A = this chain, B = another copy of it.
Amino acid sequence: MASERSWRLTLAYDGTAYSGWQVQPAATTIQGTVEEALAVVEGRPVKLTGSGRTDAGVHALAQVASCTLASPIPAHGLIKALNRLLPADIRVTDAGLAPEGFHARHWATAKTYEYRIQRAPICPPFEARFTYWHPYPLDEDAMCVAASRLAGDRDFRSFASSGGDLEESTERSVFSSTLQREADLLVYRVRGSGFLYRMVRNFVGTLLEVGRGNLQPDDIDRILAARNRCEAGPTAPARGLFLASVEYPDQTAAADAARVNSSA
């Protein structure tokens, strides 16, 4: 029997048609769809582990997933084979051998999410699946200030929707949290060690309450201190959310090596 090799896959997807990442009975999911394609390549069932679950309707620019395969297929062949088997709304954008034992969730050191709020008076139909259309007045400056207040090592329990595991610690490190205008889009970007269930969408829902004047930027500290989901704003719709990138220790190492090589 051939020895199995660990793989790291990078996936981009339009999550509109899927019931989220995780395999569920009688539902079409990203994980399930990619596992089916992997099973064709491998000739037997393959278990795929994502860096985290994305909810129904949430998209990914670069989700990372791990699996082991006995197939001796080269990386470019695997990418090509999977993209032929997958529907056009899921693409494998990269694949490479990973260190033995690589686990896309356990090994992740940081994740970045992006949330796109469409501010145009009329939402272009080509962006309807990928933005949350909100043309109504918003104090965007106050939202920017409030966004910055979400960064830090904090207990984010007020921003965790029920459905997640609240027995575990709800402390997380948010390394950066910024909101900025990009033409008609108001883009919220957040990078952190990890995120609680629906935390990013609850951040955005809260920032929208600040934009509407129902909350002030100074309320963010109070909301965090309350450790009570009822204090924060509602959950923003899934369609505006993208998992933008996932970081691993070896990326830093690889980046360092590249830096050394280029300066040599």
> CB within 8 Å of B: which of A49-92?
59, 79, 83, 88-92
**Once the chains bind, are B12 and A91 in contact (CB under 8 Å)?**
no
Question: Distance (Å) between the CB of A17 and the closest chain B CB?
Answer: 10
Complex Cα spacing A83 to B133, Å: 12
Provide the bound-state CA to CA distance between A129 and B126, in Å.
Answer: 9
Residue of B nearest to A90 (CB): B125
CB distance from A77 to the nearest CB of B (A): 14
A124 at the interface (CB under 8 A from B): yes
Contact (Cβ within 8 A) B124 A12: yes
Q: Is the CB of A125 within 8 A of B83?
A: no
Q: How large is the interface on A (under 10, 10 to 19, 20 to 34, 35 or more residues)?
A: 20 to 34
Asked if A114 is at the interface of the complex by the 8 Å CB criterion, the answer is no
Contact A125 B14 (CB under 8 A): yes
- A166 interface residue (CB < 8 Å to B): no
Say whether A13 faces chain B, with CB atoms less than 8 Å apart: yes
A16 to B130, CA, bound (A): 15
Within 8 Å by CB of A122, from B59, B79, B125, B126, lies B79
In the assembled complex, the CB of A181 is this many whole angstroms from the nearest CB of chain B, namely: 21
Q: Which of A199-213 contact B (CB under 8 A)?
A: none
Q: In this assembly, does A98 line the interface, its C-beta being within 8 Å of a C-beta of chain B?
A: no
Contact B125 A130 (CB under 8 A): no
Query: How far does the alpha carbon of A83 sit from the alpha carbon of B12 in the complex, in Å?
Result: 30
Interface assignment of A245: CB less than 8 Å from any CB of chain B: no
- The interface of chain A, by Cβ under 8 A from chain B, is 12-14, 59, 79, 83, 88-93, 122-126, 128-130, 133
For the complex of A and B, 3 pairs with smallest distance between CB atoms: A88-B128, A14-B125, A89-B125
